[in-house]
Amino acid sequence: MSEEPLAPQETLDAARELVAAGRPFSAHEVLEARWKAGPTEERDLWQGLAQVCVAMTHSARGNQVGADRLFDRAAERLSTFMRTGHSAYGLDLNAVVEHARNHIGKL
């Protein structure tokens, strides 16, 4: 994966495609590039989404403790972002947070 950040919508589209292809860690890298290059007020959005992808990677590898910690951190970070009222580029963050919280404790 390129370390060059994509535009926000392109980032989301690429991350979705990578997750759908069973490559959540690669999706994390795409999201991480956006979080590092993006504006400070969007940091929690991109970092939270990247953490969901790493949590999925841990879960797939059987590391439930690591997955649980990252799903929890991601849910908190995304909830914090939602409270700002900033745009999530059409992403349903309530659904993402619910997904993260529903996966805690499930291998």
35 touches 46 (CB < 8 A):
yes
> What total number of domains does the chain contain?
1
What is the model's pLDDT at position 105? 75
Higher-scoring residue by pLDDT: 2, 51: 51
Structural domain contains residue 2: no
Structural domain contains residue 27: yes
88 touches 81 (CB < 8 A):
yes
Structural domain contains residue 88: yes
Structural domain contains residue 22: yes
Structural domain contains residue 62: yes
C-alpha–C-alpha distance, residues 18 and 36, integer Å:
19
pLDDT in tens, 73-96: 999 999 999 999 999 999 999 999
48 touches 77 (CB < 8 A):
yes
107 touches 62 (CB < 8 A):
yes
Q: What is the DSSP string of 65-80?
A: HHHHHHHHHHHHHHHH
Structural domain contains residue 77: yes
Average pLDDT across the chain, whole number: 93
Q: Which domain holds residue 82?
A: 8-103
Structural domain contains residue 3: no
C-alpha–C-alpha distance, residues 107 and 95, integer Å:
20
Which domain CATH number covers 17? 1.10.3450.10
What is the model's pLDDT at position 86? 95
